[in-house]
Amino acid sequence: MNEENQINEQEQIKKLLEQNLKLTGEIYAMTKKMKSYLAFQRLVSLFYLVLIIAPIILSIIYLPPLLSGLFDQYKQALDIQGGSSSAIQELLKGGAGGFDINAIKDSVK
């Protein structure tokens, strides 16, 4: 009976080792897939980062000269000079052409 128990135990150990080897192989395959998936995710996140950062950097470099030219065109179109007074500047100061907001307020009261 003792020999039979030893043979039975050896068979159980052999089955357990085979099962352990099979499960280890499956775990290795899953780990390999996860590693490649994580590497792919790193590349995608780097691509998204470049997709977001690149336009910001390009706009910092190229937008100020474009906008300064645009503002110069508007200044010329609206006839706004640095030292001269234009109709828009007088309106912002409080009136042009005899327009006085305080006189209107007094006449309404």
> Is the same domain home to 63 and 19?
yes
> Is the same domain home to 12 and 45?
yes
Determine whether 86 is exposed, middle or buried from the number of CB atoms within 10 Å of its CB (0-12, 13-18, 19+): middle
> Is the same domain home to 73 and 47?
yes
pLDDT at 100: 63
Q: Which residues of the chain fall below pLDDT 50?
A: 83-84
> Is the same domain home to 73 and 103?
no
Q: Retrieve residue 105's tokens.
A: 């307020």
> Is the same domain home to 98 and 48?
no
CA-based nearest residue to 79, from 91, 69, 92, 88: 88
C-beta of residue 87 within 8 angstroms of C-beta of residue 96: yes
Helix intervals (H) in the chain? 2-78, 87-93, 101-108
> Is the same domain home to 17 and 46?
yes
- Give the distance from CA 33 to its chain's centroid: 28
pLDDT at 78: 74
> Is the same domain home to 88 and 71?
no
Amino acid identity for residue 61 in this structure:
I
pLDDT at 107: 67
- What digits encode the pLDDT tens for the residues 17-29? 999 999 999 999 9
Residue span of the structural domain in which 32 resides: 2-78
> Is the same domain home to 61 and 98?
no
> Is the same domain home to 62 and 20?
yes
pLDDT > 70: percent of the chain: 71
> Is the same domain home to 60 and 93?
no
